[in-house]
Amino acid sequence: MTAAPATRHFLRDDDITPAEQREILDLAERLKTDRFQVRPLEGPQTVAVIFDKSSTRTRVSFAVGIADLGGQPLIISTASSQLGGKETPSDTARVLERMVSAIVWRTYGQAGLEEMAAGTTVPVINALSDDFHPCQLLADLLTIREHKGSLEGLTVAFIGDGADNMVHSYLLAGATAGMHVRVGCPAEYSPKDAVIADADRIAAETGGSITIFTDPLETVAGADVVVTDTWVSMGKEEEKAARVATLARYRVDDEMMSLAKPDAIFLHCLPADRGYEVTAEVIDGPQSVIWDESENRLHAQKALLVWLLERSTGGSGAGS
């Protein structure tokens, strides 16, 4: 007897192979043309969506996406649950898997997500942690592909806080897509060495590359895609003054954009602090594709859910 394949989770961008990433993006593209064509959660089955941190896009796109797939979202705020207080991630997962088909969790440490995934038979999805934001990257890649036709060989320049969850996800997901990922950041806010090493290894297989710069203008030169994110991620509010002082020369403005390719596009996962990491002229200007990017959260996450549910071994919620 062959053992059933293990349930797949999506905790980091490199939890999927290059072929699997393409498969999910292709499905997202199809679901964007006809939102209600697949209904794997018909029943309705429930998906738990848990938030330790604030959210607009993630909350709405998962809630709407789960409903589009025939299911019902159960949005849980950690502050009003036992998780994070009296109960461990693995005990929480054991309870939820008897009633839900998947668990989506926005949290702080990556370790909690790993513990939750190790303890359950239903897919666990990282809806943002301190280290990664892989659902956002599926939406970003979908957006870039829509505007540029393909991903492989494109140069993406991320400017700003290099220790940010978005940067780590760009390194892994961009490398997986065969892109040339450049990060322009101050030495104090550099990506984690372990993530750079993982991204380098993936890039060596896909034909992509990873380069870390301290000069933002050098980073952006000739880029196809320019990306930034807030300088003050959730949980880092007390560091705001120091961050703003150190990151001041990493603001994306018209002058910086003029060094990228003339047809370069600008992305930002939002929420944005206009006047800090990006000027209003750029984020609200003709090269910005932020509203497509934010809509694509819906289509990308639906594709991810469909793909993971097909690979789930269970939880009674999945079959009932």
Residue nearest to ligand NVA (CB): 233
**With binding defined as CB under 6 A, does residue 103 bind ligand NVA?**
no
Q: Which of residues 123-162 bind ligand CP (CB under 6 A)?
A: 128, 136
230 binds, options ligand CP, ligand NVA, none, Cβ within 5 to 8 A by partner type: ligand NVA
211 is in an annotated binding site: no
CB of 110: closest distance to ligand NVA in angstroms? Answer: 13
295 CB contacts (<8 Å, ≥6 apart)? none
**With binding defined as CB under 6 A, does residue 55 bind ligand CP?**
yes
258 is in an annotated binding site: no
* 136 in catalytic set: yes
């979202």: which residue's tokens? Answer: 73
* 185 in catalytic set: no
Site string for ligand NVA, 56-75 (x = CB under 6 A): --------------------
* 133 in catalytic set: yes
Q: Which of residues 123-152 bind ligand NVA (CB under 6 A)?
A: 128, 133
In this chain, which of 21, 46, 58, 101 binds ligand CP, going by CB under 6 A? 58
Q: Catalytic one among 45, 59, 130, 136?
A: 136
Site string for ligand NVA, 157-196 (x = CB under 6 A): -------xxx------------------------------
Closer CB to ligand NVA, 115 or 164, in the complex: 164
104 binds, options ligand NVA, ligand CP, none, Cβ within 5 to 8 A by partner type: none
195 binds, options ligand CP, ligand NVA, none, Cβ within 5 to 8 A by partner type: none
SS3 readout for the chain? CCCCCCCCCECCHHHCCHHHHHHHHHHHHHHHHCCCCCCCCCCCCEEEEEECCCCCHHHHHHHHHHHHCCCEEEEEEHHHCCECCCECHHHHHHHHCCCCCEEEEECCCHHHHHHHHHCCCCCEEECCCCCCCHHHHHHHHHHHHHHHCCCCCCEEEEECCCCCHHHHHHHHHHHHCCCEEEEECCHHHCCCHHHHHHHHHHHHHHCCEEEEECCHHHHHCCCCEEEECCCCCCCCHHHHHHHHHHHHHHCECHHHHCCCCCCCEEEECCCCCECCCECHHHHCCCCECHHHHHHHHHHHHHHHHHHHHHCCCCCHHHHC
Binding site for ligand CP (CB under 6 A): 55-58, 128, 136, 269-270
Binding site for ligand NVA (CB under 6 A): 128, 133, 164-166, 229-230, 233-234, 269
Residues serving a catalytic function are: 106, 133, 136, 229, 269, 297
